[in-house]
């Protein structure tokens, strides 16, 4: 079972449980029909494959016709999908499929809006601030929106955070401990909060220096200190309202937790258009 299938099974079990009582009491099991899924606002669409997985897990005979696909822009009141088959099956998959479509399209949309405001030299990164169990999908949505993925978890990248440094007596000590045994192919990134931290990160040979929660003037000073000796990531409270102040800075990455933890869901609806035997 792949990652999408596991997430879908968990979500359907949570929603349907032992059965959809209302649908089973009101809808004849043989009644068929066609429904449309419509987007109510401007968005970047994301989640087509998981929507397909939801409906086909419930009933593999359902026919889905997508009019738009992941990564495409959708206009208000635009249809994105038609579904044909047993109405019971369509209604049982309605809420779970729309929840995924709304949430993932929200992430893709807010990511796309940020990416469009930056020069191509600066990459928008996500973080690990994701909903438990949904990181795989949320990081996919970031890519659909034009962003890049930071490390997926604690196991596939080295990022020395402030608490690591505090625990071992500072940035310099933390870097020394990591550098002793780090595999040669892995970059070492370290979080810094002050210019003194930046100096220690440079002395310790960090590959990537994260400038965390610094004001713009301090970031400029840090960039001068680094002077091309390490890649630069900026993070901390960055959103659609303040990203403009970073546009002209020569940094490599801007990581934004808000693109996953605070993205506004996009409004979609599913409406039954016709019924037939």
List active site positions.
Answer: 95, 129, 161, 191, 212
Torsion angle of the four alpha carbons 112, 75, 83, 111, in this order, in degrees rounded to the nearest 10: 10
Q: Which long-range contacts (CB under 8 A, 24 or more apart) does 240-246 make?
A: 240/110, 240/113, 240/114, 243/114, 243/117, 243/118, 244/117, 245/216, 246/118, 246/122, 246/216, 246/219
CA distance 192 to 37: 46
CA–CA separation, 273 vs 270, rounded Å? 9
Residue 122 to residues 93, 189, 265, Cα–Cα distance (Å) = 39, 17, 26
The helix/strand/coil state of 192 is strand
Q: How far is CA 273 from the centre of its chain?
A: 32
User: For the chain, what percentages of helix, strand and coil (3-state, to nearest 5) are there?
Assistant: 40, 20, 35
Sheet order of strands, 78-86 included: 63-66, 78-86, 32-39, 268-276
């Amino acid at each position: 079972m792949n990652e999408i299938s596991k997430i879908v099974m968990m979500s359907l079990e949570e929603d349907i449980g032992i059965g959809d009582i209302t649908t089973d009491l009101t809808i004849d099991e043989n009644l068929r029909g066609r429904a449309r899924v419509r987007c109510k606002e401007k968005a970047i669409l994301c989640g087509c494959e998981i929507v397909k997985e939801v409906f086909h897990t419930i009933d593999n005979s359902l026919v889905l016709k997508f009019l738009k696909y992941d990564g495409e822009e959708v206009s208000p009141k635009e249809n994105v999908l038609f579904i044909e088959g047993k109405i019971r099956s369509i209604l049982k998959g309605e809420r779970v499929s729309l929840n995924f479509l709304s949430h993932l399209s929200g992430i893709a949309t807010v990511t796309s809006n940020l990416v469009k405001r930056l020069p191509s030299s600066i990459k928008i990164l996500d973080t690990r601030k994701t909903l438990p169990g949904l990181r795989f999908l949320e990081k996919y949505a970031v890519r659909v929106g034009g962003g890049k993925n930071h490390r997926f978890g604690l196991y596939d990248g080295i990022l020395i955070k402030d608490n690591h440094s505090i625990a071992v007596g500072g940035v310099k000590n933390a870097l020394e401990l990591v550098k002793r045994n780090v595999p040669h192919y892995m970059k070492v990134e370290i979080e810094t909060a002050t210019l003194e931290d930046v100096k220690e990160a440079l002395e310790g040979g960090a590959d990537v220096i994260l400038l965390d929660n610094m004001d713009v003037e301090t970031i400029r000073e840090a960039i001068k200190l680094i002077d091309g000796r390490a890649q630069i990531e900026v993070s901390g409270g960055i959103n659609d309202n303040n990203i403009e102040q970073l546009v002209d800075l020569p940094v490599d990455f801007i990581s934004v937790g808000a693109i996953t933890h605070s993205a506004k869901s996009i409004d979609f609806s599913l409406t039954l258009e016709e019924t037939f035997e």
